[in-house]
Amino acid sequence: MTNGTDTANGFRADHPRAQGVASDRQEREAGRRPVTSRDLLDLRFAGDPRLAPGGDRVVWVERWIDADRNQYRSNLYAAPASGDGVPAPLTTGPGSDRAPRWSPDGRWLAFLSDRPLPPDARPRRRDEPAASGGGPGAATPAARPGRGGEDKPRPQLYVLPSGGGEARLLTLFKQGSGPAVWSPDGRCVATIVQVHPERGLEATGDPEPGEGDPYRRFNRDVKVVRRLRYKLDGVGYFTEHRHHVVVLDLGPDGAHLAAPSSSEPPGDGGNGAARDAGTGGPGGKGAAAAAAVPGAEAHAAALVPLARVTAGEYDVRAVAWMPSGRELVVVTNPHPDADRQPWTDVYLVSLPAAGQEGEAGAGTRAGAAAEASGRLPLDLSRDPLPPGVRKLTSSDLDVYEALPSPDGRWIAVRGQDARRYRAYSNTHLYLIAADGSQRRCLTAEADLTVGDESVNDVVGEAGATLAWAPDGSGLYALVSRRGEVQLYWFGVDGTIRPLTGGPQVLRGISLDREGRRCAYLRLTATDPGEVWVADLPSLDEPAAAPPAAAARDATPAGPGASAAGAAAWQGAARNGHPVLTGRRLSRANDGWLARIQVVEPEHFTFESDGNVLDGWLIRPVGFEPGKKYPAILQIHGGPMAMYGYAFFHEFQLLAARGYAVFYTNPRGSQGYGQAFCAAIRGDWGNRDYRDLMTFVDAVLERYDFIDRERLGVAGGSYGGYMTNWIVTHTDRFRAGVTMRCVANEHSFFGTSDIGFYDLFDLDLPPWEDPLRYLEMSPIHHIARCKTPLLVMHAEVDLRCPIEQAEQIYTALKVLGVPTEFVRFPDESHGLSRGGQPWHRVYRLDRIVDWFDRYLKPEPAPAAGRAEERAAPS
């Protein structure tokens, strides 16, 4: 077995999860204790559930923290969909496995893994001596530069037989592979990979250009920037590579999937050269078998034949197969100035018929003539488009995904209004006719946003948002509303039905081939998330959507909104509409929850400027009536996101330390309709500030145990901006913590990876209206600040660059306001939810310490704080 155990048909009763049941019960009986910062290290994060086509079992990704190595690991787990049996790992060993994808017939499970490559599969460079044996210890990772300059392996595609056996390597892409997208017949896999404009596809082991030239070798780290968008937080600085579609041919009945048996170098060592057709293929089969996609050929970057489908100076965002298996749906923006055009389009790409296949090396600039004739790969930026390519949208949407219906009539598109609202748009669900004749929006009248817009700090793999019914009559989709994320039905006929309800956040839906069952991830405010499965109800009986008036009133985004209307959609799933009842499959955090005391948030509503908003409050652990407690206002980032019923370890930690924690969704948040989200477009610090201050007033009026003289405020990203804005506009808070913040909109425009988006949000660049940018900047009002403020920031944050925090900190030091600056090296904007584990623990300790210092009358006990602190500088 590769890397320990790669089984797909066993659910072992001797698994530690089964052995831990008795001890968990004993801990539960002994009582739970308050959570600490280090308890984060013991949480497990389930995600991306995938139901087998036959509906008999579910596979998901389970992520956990290896505290000794200060890193995250993940493996694939499985359990019977019946709910019987104990979850068991499908993959083990070094590396992380994710993105499981069943083949349509259920025979194979494709997944991504950054495990070390087996030595007999690794392509050898031309100047490398032949292998003289070697076992698992000789395995070599396909590497990439990581934090601090060390090499990190790139993920490659593997397939695992569903009946058990060894995981088989598919790809050797130098830059790594994207997730698998299976063709309808299960023979091919499409994926998105990085392609160099000159060198084409590159394989692991390919030499870096200019290795023999010191001038080129020692200047390889120099960045020459030509694009407007040249960096991305969490990714880094862009190279010349572009993301394009390739198709891998697994062969009839998986004939090309035989385990590699030779470590001889394929072909001439890479750069697009074909392997020897008689000897280089997997299992001795070579590349001589008839290709499923004309143009597929042997390549050093894959262990099966591949065909490049797209090429050019643009990036592909998503790809899907049409039911015929002869066309691909491609989401991209091939505009020559794409960085300044806030849209993406949907293209239908016909794969060439026999005889039109491309030539070896096509897709580099030397292959332009072949591309123009309709041969693969195709350049979608050409005008006119290559033969066999049709554009289905009108450059007015920002499309996130496109999913064809099983009958091929429609393409479901999830995206935003790129022209009018851009990032402040609801995420709508559209139906586009495959022939391009019509387009309908299924969500506009109901004013719904499709997708999971909730925030939390226990992030796992997200999974799918949309799933077609097998008969093509409609889609199942996740919808974010008022802090909840629920499953809805959207019929092709326009019918909308909520299928779930209650205080929960659902993520990652997956159906079986008959559409009888649905797997999903379910989070609550007291549960970090587990995998569930439910039997889908019959939708044959007609059911009208809630009346238009109720749909309008359900979204308190403008005049006339009412609480009664807001309940219309909320109650629809319980008033004559089918409701799912599921069964839990995973047990990722049973032991954790058995020993940790978690407090259920209290929900209430309040009004602000005529809008009905949601608020939540977590009482301190060990709450005693009659006692006064300090309280902390938390503000989410985005701002186009929402708080709600997802678990927050940070909030539970503050409650365990004796704080009440309260939070809401001010205007600008998602889940409350279009007008509500767009209310602060180009106008931060106005309506949102009023909503937050009204919320504080409502909390103080409702909860008399809160000491109004001991209030704190904290937030990250946009929440950091609002924290900065609040402490420069009011003195009602005794302490604040600003994290990954925005301080100066003027400088943010030129330093953030998305700063130039203000061109769309404020309509003018800062040099044309500098006063407007400055008036919206907290740094412009910093002289008013009297509140002690802890400034926390990641040093490799490209979204809100650290210069934003430096401006706030320097100004406060000059003004003599109490402040500290905590800088996290080698961390990006996502530190709080995906940063290095021990950095996350240290971050939590510093937050608690700061609030203890200013909000508690007595020094707090040291329990739960960092044992060692960095010396101040």
Q: Known catalytic residues? A: 717, 829
Q: Cα separation of 71 and 77, whole Å? A: 19
- Using CB atoms within 10 Å of the CB of residue 262, give its burial: 0 to 12 exposed, 13 to 18 middle, 19+ buried: middle
- Position 448: which residue type? L
Helix, coil or strand: residue 696 = helix
Per-position DSSP letters for 188-256, written without gaps between them: EEEEEEEEBTTTBS-BTTPPPTTTT-HHHHTTTT-----SS--EETTTEE--S-EEEEEEEE--GGGGG
The CB-side HSE value for 502 (13 A sphere, CA atoms) comes to 12
Question: How far is residue 168 CA from its own chain's centroid?
Answer: 26
Cβ atoms within 10 A of the Cβ of 16, count?
Answer: 9
Q: Is 794 in contact with 802 (CB distance < 8 Å)?
A: yes
Tokens of 192: 């998105």
Q: Is 49 in contact with 520 (CB distance < 8 Å)?
A: yes
Q: Is 283 in contact with 120 (CB distance < 8 Å)?
A: no
Q: What are the angstrom distances between the C-alpha of 789 and each of 655, 736, 786, 854, 860?
A: 20, 5, 9, 10, 19
Question: How far is residue 214 CA from its own chain's centroid?
Answer: 40
Q: Which of 170, 108, 478, 140 is closest to 305 using CA atoms? A: 170
Tokens of 553: 């009133």
Cβ atoms within 10 A of the Cβ of 863, count?
Answer: 9
Q: Which of 326, 286, 325 is closest to 305 using CA atoms? A: 286
Q: Cα separation of 535 and 871, whole Å? A: 56
Q: Cα separation of 228 and 610, whole Å? A: 41
